Amino acid sequence: MVKFSPRVKFILITVDELLLVPALILVAYYFIPELVPFTVVATIVGAIVFVAAKYHLVYDSLKEGTDFLYDLPGMKCKVLETVTDTSGKVRFGAEIWDARSDNGEILKGTEVIIVSRESMKVRVKPWHGETS
């Protein structure tokens, strides 16, 4: 598998959007040629603002090891559907995860701690006020 640097990833996901700049200028030239100078300046300024905002919002997520949001063990969540060793659902933040328990049945509404993450499922245990 080829690994790209965050800078290369950013360029690759931004280039296609920047190709709209000349397209917009051509459309302006065809339909309203008297506004081409304004359109060119406005489009270039808009593209610069777009790239700067996108860089600020996206660049950090392109770095390796930035999946801290899914480093779930030890996090507290709430049971939405009774959790057993074969089924159940918990809410972690705004997300709903499939959950399993090795500690028997955990009823809806119970606060639990995530013990581990297995693909798109989490293994949980009841929370008793400590996080260890």
pLDDT tens, position by position, 23-74: 888 998 899 989 889 988 998 999 999 999 998 888 777 776 545 556 778 8
Q: State residue 50's pLDDT score.
A: 92
CATH 2.40.50.140 placement within the chain: 71-126
Local structure of 22: helix, strand or coil: helix
Asked if pLDDT for residue 101 goes beyond 50, the answer is: yes
Q: Per-residue DSSP letters for 30-75? A: HH-GGGHHHHHHHHHHHHHHHHHHHHHHHGGGGSTT--GGG--TT-
Q: State residue 127's pLDDT score.
A: 86
Q: What sign does the CA torsion over 21, 26, 29, 32 have?
A: negative
Q: State residue 78's pLDDT score.
A: 93
Q: Given pLDDT bands bounded at 50, 70 and 90, which one contains residue 118? A: confident
User: N- to C-terminal Cα distance for the chain?
Assistant: 37
Fold classification of 71-126 is OB fold (Dihydrolipoamide Acetyltransferase, E2P) (2.40.50)
Distance from C-alpha of 72 to C-alpha of 96, rounded to nearest angstrom: 13
Averaged pLDDT, 108-127: 88
Distance from C-alpha of 103 to C-alpha of 124, rounded to nearest angstrom: 8
- Which of the two residues, 92 and 1, has the higher pLDDT score? 92
